Structure 1
Amino acid sequence: MTGPHVLLIRLAGPLQSWGLAGRFAHRDTHSRPTKSGVIGLCAAALGLDREEPLGDLAEVRFGVRADRPGIRVRDYHTVGGGTFPLRPRDLLTDHQRATKATAAAAASEPPDVFGRVDLAAWYGSPKYVTADPASGALVSQQVRRHAMITERWYLSDAAFLAGLEHEDQTLLERIAYALEHPKRLLWLGRKACPPTGDLALGVVPGTLRNAFESSALLPDATGPQAASAERPWAWMESPRPLPGAGLPDQPVRYDADGGLHSLRWETRHRITITPNAPGWDIIL
């Protein structure tokens, strides 16, 4: 069949996190799935390496409907606090620790005739064990590090209907199959956020707006956070630049250095779902 087709993808789970500008100490989440995050999900399902070009996968027109927007939650997270065994790397990279270790080694074992201290002999093993003078119990030589505090944001109990529009129906069907038979583990933006249930809901003819208007709300869209009066908001990618509507989430490539993204544009619409639109009971 010719003309545009849309692959519908269900994105639901206890937690989701779709970062736009997060760094290690502050991991943000957008209010909805990003194109970069969803294309990355599809690339992982297809088994693409980070260095591989995305090809037609990056050229799909992206849209998302917020059937259940969810609630933003903050995770107060600490990394690296407490005490740890002193490692050889600590002696090589931290001159202050090396100075203290040298003094401790000299106190327990005198320097040689040249004034040198055998740190290797003092360290002994990956976890240097000695007897505690007070209790006699065996303890490890420890160093204390200050904790790094990080702030991580998530969307709790959200459900979105994402759409990928393209002229190549075969490409969309291949992505749909991969989402249900993934070659790698799949996450809703971050590794702490696994999806629940089926992801691929099928390929339908038409545009993103047609697909969103003719698809019933997801079964997950119930309760106080559900879309009001079954008229959810939807965001659809625009083929041309729009003032004030740009997002830096158009994937160019993914790699170990964080990848490369460019700007894309989108429009926001209230979606009126067609009366008696077929539900998802058979699929979900």
Structure 2
Amino acid sequence: MSRTGVLALRLAGPLQSWGAASRFTRRTTESAPTKSGVVGLLAAAAGIERGDDTRLAPLAALRFGVRVDQPGTRIRDFHTAHHGITGASMPLSERFYLADAVFVAALEGDHTLLTGLHDALRTPAYPPYLGRRSCPPTEPVGLALHEDTSLEDVLTRVPWQASAWYQRRHPTPRTLTVLRETAPGESVAAADVLRDQPVSFDAAHRRHTLRTIATTPVPTPAPAGGGPRATHDPFAALAALEDDSA
């Protein structure tokens, strides 16, 4: 019998965008990372090409969950574009992003597969991005690989990952929201469905199916190191000036 594990990721950046129902010129974002987007990030790191559905299938079969550590702010942007050959103007598009958000994502499944993905994140074949190519992460995505545990346990125990400035300016919440994929055979009184279960990333015929999601609160764990994350914040000096003048 193969060992199971859980791969934990920290998804943080100036902008993120996780679309599940975007159409034509209106490109929306969900309030948390989608399974399709995170599996796509891992597939890119592992060097899986878009049309390689055989290699994609084991990644898509992993059970997925996400914890909202810092909800961020939804913003809207307008994009203009021109045809690369004719120079003709393309339709104006409306695109939505999450600014200054932080999430902990976790994937549960075969330990060997997750070990390979964890290694791939250290030396990715293609750069990772948070939903769109214009949304790079602020730091390495991989947090840790846990063995012989559950998705629910990892999303409960991983230290709170909110940014240092956010922890300084906001009281620690009593609970954090977890959106997790239901386990096979699990009965949930109230569940949502989202069409973000990837089947194929082939540009000619992308396919996704529905996935059942349970939303639960978990107690907010202590931050890493017992306090705000000790990472470089380029706006820390400005924040200090604002605090002094308040």
TM-score bracket for this pair, using the shorter chain length: 0.7 to 0.9
In 1, Cα distance between the equivalents of 2:31 and 2:171? 14
The 1-side partners of 2:108 and 2:231 are apart by 21
Residue 14 (structure 1) aligns with:
14
Local SS of the residue matching 2:173: helix
Q: Write the deviation string for residues 44-88 of structure 1: whole angstroms up to 9, x where unpaired.
A: 00001111121311110000000001100000222349xx9xx8x
Shift of 1:209: 1.3
CA distance in 2, matches of 1:203, 1:155: 27
Corresponding residue for 1:266?
213
2:193 is aligned to 246
Moved more, 10-19 or 212-221: 212-221
Higher relative contact order (CA 8 A, sep 6+): 1
1:195 corresponds to 2:137: yes
Partner of 1:51: 51
User: How many corresponding residue pairs?
Assistant: 224
**Matches of 1:262 and 1:276 in 2, distance apart?**
36
Match of 1:208 among 151, 154, 164: 151
Closer, same or farther: CA 277–10 of 1 in aligned 2, 3 Å: closer
Matches within 5 A, 1:28-67: 28-52=28-52, 53=54, 54-67=56-69
Q: Which moved more, 1:187-196 or 1:3-12?
A: 3-12
**Separation of aligned partners in 2, 1:34 and 1:244:** 16
CA contact (8 A) 2:63 2:181 kept: yes
**5+ residue gaps in structure 2?**
233-246
Give the secondary structure class of the aligned counterpart of 1:32: coil
Q: Does 1:229 align with 2:231?
A: no
Question: CA separation of 1:217/1:255 partners in 2, compared to 1, >3 Å: closer, same or farther?
Answer: same
State which drifts further: 197-206 or 149-158: 197-206
Q: Relative to structure 1, is the Cα distance of residues 177 and 209 closer, same or farther in structure 2, using a 3 angstrom cutoff?
A: same
Please tell me whether the aligned partners of residues 69 and 162 of structure 2 are also in contact (alpha carbons under 8 angstroms).
no
Where does the alignment leave 5 or more consecutive residues of structure 1 unmatched? Answer: 91-142
Alignment RMSD: 3.1
Match of 1:106 in 2: none
The superposition leaves residues 109-134 of structure 1 with CA deviations (integer Å, 9 ceiling, x where unpaired) of xxxxxxxxxxxxxxxxxxxxxxxxxx
Question: Normalising by the residue count of structure 2, what TM-score does the alignment of the two structures yield?
Answer: 0.80
Partner of 1:73 in structure 2? 75
SS in 1 for 2:20: coil
SS in 2 for 1:271: strand
Distance 1:221 1:71, change over 3 A: farther
Distance 1:219 1:244, change over 3 A: closer
Per-residue deviation, 1:24: 3.3
Secondary structure of 1:232's match? strand
